[in-house]
Amino acid sequence: MTPYRHRVNYYETDKMGVTHHANYIHWMEEARIDFLDQLGWSYDKLEELGIVSPVIGVECQYKAPTTFNDRVDVTVAIREYRCPKLVVGYEMRKEDGTLVLTGSSSHCFLDREGKFLRLKRDFPGFDQALRDLAAQE
């Protein structure tokens, strides 16, 4: 998979000129959406199929600051998949290779009524794609 690239916008920085910590979580979501697009299972497609995937946890370890106009590459990987729980890992690096952040987000899979889904039974193609990626880690 190709890493997601984000350019730090001026409005994402704080009074000290560094990126506000909350923005990294937005970039994790942007990268996760891009990752699913590359996988062939876009959020739009999942929602059309009735799959809802809320965030149930987020973890971040900040390693180095970013500032306006930095380019940050976000690598996404499946750390764990045991349906209905999915843990997505993130690594963010500046163009020069400086490690900016490591983190993860945890998700579950629900139907539109809020009931847990059994992806292996109900959406075997999506389930297998996640299993294949989890096995690579």
List the catalytic residues: 14
SS3 39: helix
Per-residue burial over 2-36, b if 16 or more Cβ lie within 10 Å, else e, is: ebbebebeeebbeeeebbeeebbbebbeebbebbb
- Among residues 67, 69, 68, 75, which one has the least CA distance to residue 93? 75
- Among residues 8, 136, 21, which one has the least CA distance to residue 76? 136
How far apart are the C-alpha atoms of 66 and 79, rounded to whole Å?
25
Burial class (CB in 10 A: 0-12, 13-18, 19+), 84: middle
